Amino acid sequence: MTAGTSGKVDVLVYGQPKPLVSEGLSGVFTVHAAESRGDLDRISEAVAGRIRGVAITGLVSADKAMMARFPGLELISSFGVGYDHVDWAAARERSIIVTNTPDVLTEEVADVALGLLIATVREFVAADRFVRSGQWARGNYPLTQGSLRGRTVGMVGMGRIGQAIARRLDASLVPVVYHSRNPAAGVGYKHYANLVEMAKAVDTLVVITPGGASTAKLVNAEVIDALGPNGVIVNVARGSVIDEDALIAALKARKILAAGLDVFANEPNVPEELRALPNTVLLPHVGSASIITRNAMDQLVVDNLKAWFAGQAPLTPIPETPVKGR
Ligand code: NAP
Ligand code: 8YV
């Protein structure tokens, strides 16, 4: 590997440009930038050969071919707690460490999940339109069929964010049960190993698992239909976790009551059918999207790179990554 003339380690910021990341890295590293896959391909062999760290600033994917461009790559510091856009198995084959940004966004995303649930069952968006269009002067908004009262929430996923959502539901006096592959340590809610069984026992699902192969279409037609006509689904996980076609069919046929979605199968493209439905509340993947939380996530992207190249352990390695002893 050729050393850079500055003596600093070379790192690449891959994805959307972010001042906090570029500025945070620039004092310590020689920083290169590639916004798209095309930019990445235009990096010279000499520079690519020097790059030892990559900061991923959005949902651009880090696959085997991308990593192959950088023979000296040691660490990929990825923005976001979800890392389904990073081929961690390919990284592991080459002993490349992958880090993510957990914890700093947990409460923010949980706020959005609860807000989305309430907005969905109590029809906030339609009620807002009712006021703006002047209809209130002609009579009151109809009583909502949906309510949190009498509802039981089945959490799909009971990790960091799932537990933060469950705490909010506790405060709202809404009973909680959950499904995950293994019972969560230190959690008192009833655990269902079988998702269909849980769906039969509740009327509401709040989905907050990782994306990727192990959860693809986990919430399928059978699960959706098991909720019954009062059923509500909130998804703040990844669009891939729900069978979107099955969800659209169930909403159209009124097999379930409503859905609140922050994530979609093919973002930013949201199916016309979903957009046309009156019983959906749709958000543009904004679970963590406040300035304070996104800044904290950016800072953690920077701090993971700084820690590793200062000879320390990475701060927040993903569980599957090979963390080398320091
Ligand atoms: P976490 O602490 O790792 O929790 C993940 C939970 O999902 C665990 O309870 C886990 O339990 C469960 N799970 C994993 N694979 C599963 C499977 N195949 N079937 C059933 N349950 C499964 O992660 P977190 O910090 O809570 O974040 C969760 C996810 O939220 C992220 O990965 C990301 O996709 C999403 N997210 C979305 C936004 C947004 O803006 N909408 C923001 C942040 C995060 P087991 O391992 O026992 O199954
Ligand atoms: C980000 C997320 O919006 O952390 C995650 O997993 O989904 C969100 O916080 C996402 O990473 C988009 O860049």
Taking CA atoms only, the protein residue closest to ligand 1 atom 23 is: 159
Give me the pLDDT at residue 325, please.
54
CB crowding 175-204: b at 16 or more within 10 Å, else e: ebbbbbeeebeebebeebeebeebbbebbb
Say if residues 144 and 122 touch (Cβ distance below 8 Å): yes
Say if residues 74 and 314 touch (Cβ distance below 8 Å): no
Structure-block tokens of residue 283:
């958000």
Residue 267 annotated to the active site: yes
Q: Atom of ligand 1 at shortest distance to CA of 195? A: 20
Could you tell me where the beta strands, DSSP code E, fall in the chain? 10-14, 30-34, 51-56, 75-78, 97-99, 153-156, 176-179, 190-192, 204-207, 232-235, 258-261, 280-282
Break the chain into its structural domains and give their ranges.
Answer: 10-102+291-309, 106-282
Distance 305 CA to ligand 1 centre (A): 24
Distance 252 CA to ligand 1 centre (A): 28
> From CA 87, how far away is CA 60, in angstroms rounded?
11
Q: Tell whether omega for the bond before 268 is within 30 degrees of 0, i.e. cis.
A: yes
Concatenating the DSSP letter of every residue in 137-170 gives: GGSPPPPPS--STT--EEEE--SHHHHHHHHHHH
Residues with C-beta less than 6 Å from any ligand 1 atom: 81-82, 102, 105, 109, 157-162, 180-182, 184, 208-211, 214-215, 218, 236-238, 262-263, 285, 287-288
> From CA 216, how far away is CA 238, in angstroms rounded?
9
Instruction: Name, in order, each residue with C-beta under 8 angstroms of 79's C-beta and a sequence gap of 6 or more.
Output: 15, 21, 55, 56, 57, 58, 101, 297, 298, 301
Token look-up 């923010």 returns 108
Distance 90 CA to ligand 2 centre (A): 21
Find the Cα–Cα–Cα–Cα dihedral 205, 208, 209, 210, rounded to 10°.
140
10-102+291-309: CATH superfamily: NAD(P)-binding Rossmann-like Domain (3.40.50.720)
Token look-up 């859905």 returns 259
Instruction: Name, in order, each residue with C-beta under 8 angstroms of 293's C-beta and a sequence gap of 6 or more.
Output: 104, 105, 108
CB atoms within 10 A of CB 27: 9
Q: Does the domain at residues 106-282 carry the CATH identifier 2.70.170.10?
A: no
Instruction: Name, in order, each residue with C-beta under 8 angstroms of 189's C-beta and a sequence gap of 6 or more.
Output: 155, 158, 166, 176, 177, 178
Residue 85 annotated to the active site: no
Say if residues 241 and 264 touch (Cβ distance below 8 Å): no
> From CA 70, how far away is CA 93, in angstroms rounded?
14
SS3 126: helix
Which one of 94, 160, 191, 285 is the catalytic residue? Answer: 285
Distance 311 CA to ligand 1 centre (A): 30
Give me the pLDDT at residue 297, please.
98
Return the closest-CA partner of residue 206 out of 252, 275, 158: 158
Residue 238 annotated to the active site: yes
Tell me which ligand sits closest to the C-alpha of residue 84.
1
Mean pLDDT of successive 10-residue segments in the chain (326 residues)?
71 96 97 95 97 92 96 98 97 97 98 99 98 98 98 99 99 98 98 99 99 98 98 98 98 98 98 97 98 98 98 97 72
| DSSP single-letter state for residue 241 | G
SS3 49: helix
Give me the pLDDT at residue 2, please.
44
Give me the pLDDT at residue 6, please.
75
Find the Cα–Cα–Cα–Cα dihedral 260, 207, 237, 303, rounded to 10°.
120
Instruction: Name, in order, each residue with C-beta under 8 angstroms of 129's C-beta and a sequence gap of 6 or more.
Output: none
Domains 10-102+291-309 and 106-282 share a fold: yes
